[in-house]
């Protein structure tokens, strides 16, 4: 099965258009997150960009809401096709989001950069608890106090084991670049891969890297 690609951290319509033209399956928008990030945009900008995402390409609202009401407001105002919850909301609140909106729900789960394989059991158990609530999970790398969005790679052996045991589709993130995405796909066999900082140069979106990332991901599935 072809590995799908999500290009995240889009800030302009040019970012979106280049990702779509090069074959991205999904484009992500990091919206109103309470952390320092050069890729975050406000709700109004996200709404405007999401409205311009063409049919057959998913728009992913990436949020870290402080509570259920904040999440519901952001989703209602932006109307994405998918929402990625990048922090810890209670499962009952995730279920409310899933039932209230016609969106697919992606839940981020982090793998510490220095984790051992023992963590796979814990993560698989967490995925089991999300079955029937989330539509997919995204594995990102955590380092110290940062829970994802670090641009760091974790042990793909752990991710590969999780993919084999998961009841939900797994999206692999964490330090993926045009230089390593081929190997990541071949080793992990995820449903999809996700990148943001990996397709930047000097902190700015590099459209040549976007093209190369998507191309090499496709080559890995042949």
- Catalytic residue (one of 25, 140, 155, 194): 140
Q: What is the pLDDT of residues 163-185, one digit of tens each?
A: 999 999 999 999 999 999 999 99
Average per-residue pLDDT for the chain: 95
Task: Flag whether pLDDT at 142 surpasses 90.
Answer: no
At 73, the pLDDT band (50, 70, 90 cuts) reads: very high
43 tagged catalytic:
no
Say whether pLDDT at 147 is over 60. Answer: no
Statement: residue 148 has pLDDT above 60: no
Q: What is the pTM of this model?
A: 0.95
Per mean pLDDT, which range of 138-147, 150-159, 200-209 is the poorest? Answer: 138-147
Domain boundaries, the chain: 4-220
Contact 212, 188 (CB under 8 A): no
Q: How many CA atoms lie within 13 A of 144 on its CB side?
A: 3
Over residues 182-204, mean pLDDT: 97
Catalytic-role residue among 8, 15, 32, 155: 8
The pLDDT of 99-119, averaged and rounded, is 95
pLDDT at 7 over 60: yes
Among 74, 62, 57, 75, residue whose Cα is nearest residue 138: 62
- Measure the CA dihedral 172/173/175/178, to 10°: 70
Which pLDDT score, from 0 to 100, does residue 145 have?
60
- CATH number 3.30.1360.10 given to 4-220: no
User: Is the pLDDT confidence value at 150 over 70?
Assistant: no
Q: Would you call 217 a catalytic residue per the annotation?
A: no
Q: Mean pLDDT over residues 61-68, rounded?
A: 97
Token pair 């190997």 is at which residue? 183
């Amino acid at each position: 099965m072809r590995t799908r690609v999500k290009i995240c951290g889009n800030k302009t319509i040019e970012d979106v258009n280049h990702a779509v033209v090069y074959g991205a399956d999904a484009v992500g928008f990091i919206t109103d997150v309470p952390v320092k990030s050069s890729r975050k945009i406000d709700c109004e900008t996200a709404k405007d960009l999401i409205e311009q995402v063409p049919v057959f390409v998913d728009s992913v609202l990436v949020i870290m809401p402080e509570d259920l009401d904040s999440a519901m407001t952001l989703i209602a105002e932006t109307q994405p096709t998918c929402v990625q919850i990048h922090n810890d909301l209670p499962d009952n609140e995730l279920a409310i989001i899933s039932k209230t909106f016609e969106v697919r729900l992606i839940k981020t789960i982090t793998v510490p950069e220095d984790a051992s394989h023992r963590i796979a059991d814990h993560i698989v158990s967490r995925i089991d608890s999300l079955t029937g609530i989330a539509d997919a999970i995204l594995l990102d790398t955590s380092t110290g106090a940062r829970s994802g969005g670090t641009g760091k790679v974790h042990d793909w052996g752990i991710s590969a084991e999780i993919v084999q045991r998961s009841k939900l589709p797994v999206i692999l993130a964490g330090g993926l670049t045009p230089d390593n995405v081929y190997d990541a796909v071949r080793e992990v066999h995820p449903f999809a891969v996700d990148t943001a900082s990996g397709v930047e140069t000097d902190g700015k979106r590099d459209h040549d890297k976007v093209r190369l990332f998507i191309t090499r991901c496709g080559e890995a599935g042949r």
